[in-house]
Amino acid sequence: MKIAVFSTKPYDQEYFENFNDKKDFEFTFFETSLNQVTADLANGFNVVCVFVNDHIDDKTIKILSKIGVGLIALRCAGFNNVDLESARKNDLKVVRVPAYSPEAVAEHAVALILTLNRKTHKAYNRVREANFSLNKLIGFNIYKKTVGVIGTGKIGSAFCRIMKGFGCKIIAYDEYKSEEMEKIGVEYKSQDLVFKESDIISLHCPLTPDTKHMINRDSVEMMSDGIMIINTSRGALIDTADIIDALSQKKVGYLGIDVYEQEENLFFKDLSESIIQDDLILRLISFPNVLITSHQAFFTQEAMEEITNTTLDNIEDFQQGRALKNEVLQ
């Protein structure tokens, strides 16, 4: 089984090579992302393995189908970058890693909250310069604050359990309520009430037509002044232009994001010697109360092992003609 791995980073290659001993697949690693321009690189391969910023649109899928690719193996949970209808029409199977380490992402969301609040990143830099002043480093107690959670799937539930440990009141919105979360004291409310009543809002839902730009001018207007918003899910859940306006007007007091609408042009790359052309990200970076990490919430040893093993199992199921337990269906 020949597999073309796109958007490869050194750690991707390391994990696939280390865990491939039992499968004996033939991997070829490409640093470039998969799209209609690069799709021909998959000629002669049975499988393409892709990540969040690869563009598997209709044109790309038609090329893949024409050159004999039979499986698109996502090494991530999200699949909004794949045209599923086109994949079905062109007889390409799509599989994903539905859950690798919910705790990894949930813990990173908490890290963003703590860092933004207590400004430990700024304190670290000050002390390294022998500046031991506490001026402008004041935070607030998370204890007894109301934390609003949008989406209580595996990651959202892990986040709720952590925040309960801080002594927070947890309110949540999800189309499907979790009895387990209700048992630990999570109170389900409408999305609007979660926006209105929270001190901190953390997003843990997929990107769909209904959730795109759920954080926008109107929804922010419902929120309390100085609200903290955390996003470790998908960048397009937040309307970037609207959130910049809200930050400028001091309506939003803190913003922590591990994802960004236009991240495919930025994240996972070293652009330190480049001139960044994205004015919105540059504006966000300029705010002292904004913390941005580059899609690293998933990045733990445990998560990488699970992603790798599940991806290998998915490919083996396809190779053996078995039912694809992690298939993404239209």
| Whether residue 96 lies in the annotated active site | no
Residue 258: closest CA among 290, 288, 292: 292
Evaluate whether 97 touches 75 at the Cβ level (below 8 Å): yes
Residue 180: closest CA among 162, 153, 146: 153
Q: Which of 96, 108, 204, 295 is catalytic?
A: 295
| Whether residue 295 lies in the annotated active site | yes
C-alpha to C-alpha distance for 247 and 252, rounded to whole angstroms: 5
Element (H, E) at 219: helix 217-222
Evaluate whether 88 touches 330 at the Cβ level (below 8 Å): yes
| Whether residue 234 lies in the annotated active site | yes
The type of residue at 185 is G
Q: Which of 75, 234, 261, 264 is catalytic?
A: 234
Q: Which of 55, 261, 263, 264 is catalytic?
A: 263
In sequence order, which residues have a C-beta less than 8 Å from that of residue 181 and are 6 or more positions away?
A: 152, 157, 160, 170, 172, 188
State the catalytic residues.
Answer: 234, 263, 295
